[in-house]
Amino acid sequence: MDDLNDKKSIFVIYVQNPAEIGSRRATKAILHVRLNRDYNEILSDNSKPRSELIDDAITGMKLGEPFPEENGANKVFMSIECNCARCGGGLSIYNCPECGIEFDGGHLRSGWDVPLSVKMVAYLEEHGFKFVIDPILARQHEKSRYEYSMRRLAARKGNL
């Protein structure tokens, strides 16, 4: 799974407990994810839910320690996102939409609604990480949102 020649971008996920955001204890894991596809391309692809697109593109993962190409002259595109340590859901600017836990939004986060993918959850759990709420629920909610938006898009196209 870890092919150095098969990389397009890397993103770093801070897995944080939303109840502790604002303290140094909030970050429970830092997951570095190497992709064989450009990250921005994934964000604009509507062929399936983003967590599934990310899963398809993963070529390597590391906890804590960065990949060599995250630094130096040959640096690849990087993005930083935050996910919930309780349920795996994407953390918005002010809350975890899945858990409903709110926090002060003045922290370095852009907010996103992409849950941890199947491969990311498996990797974290293999390394001893425990979720309070099964992350499959966050992925089911993402899939429902995706299907709803695709139905709306199809309906709009039908009305043109």
The pLDDT tens digits for 8-46 are: 888 899 999 999 988 889 999 999 999 999 888 998 999
Q: Is the pTM of this model over 0.75?
A: yes
Asked whether residue 4 is domain-assigned, the answer is no
Asked whether residue 2 is domain-assigned, the answer is no
Asked whether residue 1 is domain-assigned, the answer is no
| Structure tokens given for 143 | 């899939």
Q: Which of 22, 27, 29 is nearest to 61 (CA)?
A: 29
Residue with structure tokens 């939004």?
A: 105
Q: Look at the chain and report how many structural domains it folds into.
A: 1
CA–CA dist 22, 35 (Å, integer): 30
pLDDT digits (tens, 9 = 90+) for 42-93: 989 999 999 999 999 999 999 988 877 777 656 666 788 999 999 999 999 8
Structural contact between residues 146 and 48, judged by C-beta atoms closer than 8 angstroms:
yes
Amino acid at 119: K
134: helix, strand or coil: coil
Asked whether residue 139 is domain-assigned, the answer is yes
CA–CA dist 98, 95 (Å, integer): 9
Range of the domain at 97: 9-158
CA–CA dist 116, 55 (Å, integer): 9
